[in-house]
Amino acid sequence: MSTTFKPLADRVLIEAAPAEQVTASGIIIPDTAKEKPLKGKVIAVGVGKKDEPMTLKVNDTVIYGQYSGTEIKIDGNDYLIMKEGDIYGIIG
Check residue 89 for interaction with a copy of itself (CB under 8 A).
yes
**20 belongs to the binding site for a copy of itself (CB under 8 A):** no
Size of the site for a copy of itself (CB under 8 A): 50
Q: How far apart are CA 36 and CA 31, in angstroms?
A: 8
Tell which one of 18, 20, 34, 59 touches a copy of itself (CB under 8 A): 34
End-to-end CA distance of the chain: 24
Residue 43, Cβ neighbours under 10 Å: how many?
Answer: 19
Strand partners of residue 33: none
Answer for the pair 79, 15: CB distance below 8 angstroms, yes or no.
yes
Give yes or no for residue 4 binding a copy of itself (CB under 8 A): yes
Contacting positions for a copy of itself (CB under 8 A): 1-9, 11, 13, 25-30, 32-35, 37, 44, 46-47, 50-52, 55-56, 62-63, 65, 70-76, 78, 81, 84-85, 87-92
